[in-house]
């Protein structure tokens, strides 16, 4: 029998209280930790990692200061709210099919010095030395009512690792096994965390960001506000030359 639990792996994230999420969410995260510990042998997905408080409030502010003027010039885009249309996200010649609602996005290769240091920290943690990375960083701004439906990032263009930092709002990322759709793993992504999807989590599961109405973690509501993710990826073998 295959086990599945609300959990994530290798996470220093839940050892400390997930501050700023509120008492109820903090309690849920604590109970989550014991489930994870008790059932360590049942771990079904490898390669999902969350580092809580990866960036400080000041670093979050600095990233927003650089991004906001660019994002503000764009409008949030809404596909069909009742969802049938798939959109192709195109950035850095990387495209994958995903349905996404209430978003605007940009990509950026030049960052100010302070933000470059933060992004270098992401890269150092997420990618082994020598791995060919996309130098354009993908920035996805989700409206508070926006959400991302289940998808797998383009296997053709993106490599084995997706690493994102989360600004402005906590959220719930859901992973669903492509082979066994009842194998569902929810990850709590606290504001200012870094999440990394590698290997199995990246290839064998779809990922999605839940809409506010569905945004619960261990039965606790995780309010979804406007959320910006800043995502680094590596190149697939095909594209690494
Ligand atoms: C994507 C994606 C997740 C996020 O752009 O492919 O899954 O954290 N983004 O915004
Ligand atoms: Mn994705």
What's the CA-to-centroid distance between 75 and ligand 1, angstroms? 18
Q: Is 207 in the pocket of ligand 1 (CB under 6 A)?
A: yes
Distances (CA, A) of 240 to 64, 114, 173: 31, 28, 28
- pLDDT given at position 162: 96
Q: Which of 146-160, 173-187, 208-222 has the highest mean pLDDT?
A: 208-222
Q: Which ligand is nearest to the CA of 166?
A: 1
The whole-model pTM stands at 0.81
Q: Is the pLDDT of residue 136 over 80?
A: yes
| CA-angle at 184, arms to 13 and 225, nearest 5° | 55
**72, two tokens:** 């503000």
The CA distance from 145 to 180, in Å, is 29
202 alpha carbon to ligand 1 midpoint, in Å?
A: 12
Neighbours of ion ligand 2 (CB under 5 A): 153
Question: Residue 100: its pLDDT value, please?
Answer: 82
Residue 43 scores a pLDDT above 60: no
Which atom of ligand 1 is found nearest the CA of 195?
8
138 CA closest ligand 1 atom index: 5
Query: Ligand 1 centroid vs 39 CA: distance in angstroms?
Result: 28
Q: What share of the chain is helix, strand, coil (3-state, %, to 5)?
A: 25, 35, 40
Beta strands in the chain (DSSP E): 48-51, 87-91, 94-98, 100-108, 137-151, 158-167, 171-177, 184-189, 194-198, 205-209, 216-217, 220-221, 227-235
State the pLDDT at residue 71.
Answer: 97
**171: Cβ below 6 Å to ligand 1?**
no
Q: Which residue has the higher pLDDT, 3 or 113?
A: 113
Distance 38 CA to ligand 2 centre (A): 30
pLDDT at residue 34 in the model:
30
Does the pLDDT of residue 37 top 60, yes or no? no
Q: What is the mean pLDDT of residues 35-40?
A: 31
């Amino acid at each position: 029998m295959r086990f599945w639990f609300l959990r994530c792996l290798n996470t220093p994230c839940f050892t400390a209280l997930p501050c700023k999420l509120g008492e109820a969410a903090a309690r849920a995260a604590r109970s989550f930790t014991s489930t994870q510990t008790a059932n360590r042998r049942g771990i079904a997905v490898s390669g999902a990692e969350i580092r809580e408080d990866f960036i400080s409030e000041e670093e979050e502010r600095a990233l927003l200061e650089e991004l906001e003027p660019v994002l503000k010039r764009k409008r949030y885009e809404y596909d069909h709210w009742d969802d049938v249309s798939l959109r192709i996200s195109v950035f850095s010649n990387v495209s994958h099919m995903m349905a996404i609602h209430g978003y605007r996005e940009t990509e950026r290769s030049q960052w100010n010095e302070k933000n470059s240091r933060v992004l270098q920290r992401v890269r150092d943690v997420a990618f082994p030395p020598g791995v060919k990375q996309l130098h354009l960083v993908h920035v996805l701004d989700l409206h508070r009512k926006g959400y991302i439906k289940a998808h797998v990032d383009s296997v053709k263009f993106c490599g084995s690792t997706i690493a994102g930092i989360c600004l402005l709002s906590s959220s719930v990322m859901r992973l669903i096994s492509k082979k066994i759709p009842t194998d569902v793993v929810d990850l709590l992504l606290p504001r200012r965390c870094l999440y990394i999807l590698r290997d199995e989590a990246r290839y064998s599961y779809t990922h999605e960001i839940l809409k506010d109405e569905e945004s619960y973690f261990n039965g606790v509501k995780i309010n979804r506000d406007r959320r910006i993710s800043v995502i680094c990826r590596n190149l697939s073998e095909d594209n690494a030359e």
